[in-house]
Amino acid sequence: MKEKIKQLKNDFFNEIEKISDLTALEKIEIKYLGRKAGELTKILRQLRDLPVTERQEIGVLANQLKKELAQKIREVFQLLKNQASQSAVFDVTVPGLKPTEGHKHLVTQAIEEIVEIFERIGFSRRRYPEVEWEWYAFESLNMPPNHPARDEWETFFIDLKPVGPKGQRILTPHTSSGQVREMEKGQLPIRMINISKCYRRQIDISHVPMFHQFEGLLIDQQVTIADLKGTLDYFVKQFFGSNRRARIRPSHFQFTEPSFEVDVSCGLCDGQGCKMCKAGWLELGGAGMIHPNVLKAGKVDPKKYSGFAFGWGVERCYLMKAGLSIPDIRMLYQNDLRFLNQF
């Protein structure tokens, strides 16, 4: 029986070396390992007729051979399969696999739309540093050293103490710091829209520590509140939709006089009151006529020129846009593709 097993092994390996296709390989597998009439199967069936001592020894040899044959068949199968795939003819008519197509982030889309809206009425986009001098962010905007906005709990300070004539360096808390920078160019009249990142120590359902703000600035002769009101109404209708309502409330800002808060009816509840808005209205930001002291800081004659300014958060504006139902501003920056792919 040992000689028979040895001869079977030699015959198998001699035959399988000559195999050149999968069909022939399948025939050899059936010939040697087939359950009904395989050559090795026949030997295993004869074990019951052998003496007990010989049966155990022959059984071990037969099972070991079975594993060797099965392993060799698997190796040859993989080799023939790889050869077949490499020699396959490429069909140029088969449709290709399209790569995943991305799109701009929601905030980028909003910024581009805002810029386009204001460009229609003559505003040009400007950009100013995210790391700003304290003087441009506060003092030039008529904010004295003891103003609450200059507290370290409200502003991210880079320096522990002043490092130059314009004070400490900070992460700009608002795009209003670009107002005097624009005036210093000495190119009047001014119609500027400044969109940039801002940083504040706030985070909740409607605030994030880093956000985008756009600053509108118009300086010319004989500019009035009527010009400001018309500009605000124009933007609200263009960006939010004709069915949304806006309101202006008297307020106070150091760099404008008079000053206003601009609100828009909530798009989630249609002004009825919800978790996002609390009372049916969402605050866009501040607006007002430029304070004479700010004009003087920018070397503009307040007796000859007047102007208005407004500053709103891009993310907050987008959350209030018609047709959207984004309940938490922080979702914009969680990088969850399940959310971002919807827009």
Burial class (CB in 10 A: 0-12, 13-18, 19+), 272: exposed
* Residue 207 DSSP SS3: strand
Domain coordinates in residue numbering, the chain: 2-83, 106-126+188-340
Structure tokens at 235: 């933007």
Consult the annotation and say whether 257 binds a ligand: yes
- Could you give the angle at the alpha carbon of 142 between the alpha carbons of 139 and 148, nearest 5°? 75
Contact (Cβ atoms closer than 8 angstroms) between residue 297 and residue 140: yes
CATH topology of domain 106-126+188-340: BirA Bifunctional Protein; domain 2 (3.30.930)
- The reported pTM is 0.65
Contact (Cβ atoms closer than 8 angstroms) between residue 247 and residue 277: no
Interval 101-130: pLDDT, tens:
888 888 888 899 999 999 999 999 998 989
Interval 228-239: pLDDT, tens:
999 988 998 898
List C-alpha distances in Å: 64 to 27, 51, 191, 239: 21, 20, 88, 78
Interval 268-305: pLDDT, tens:
777 777 776 778 887 888 999 999 999 999 999 999 99
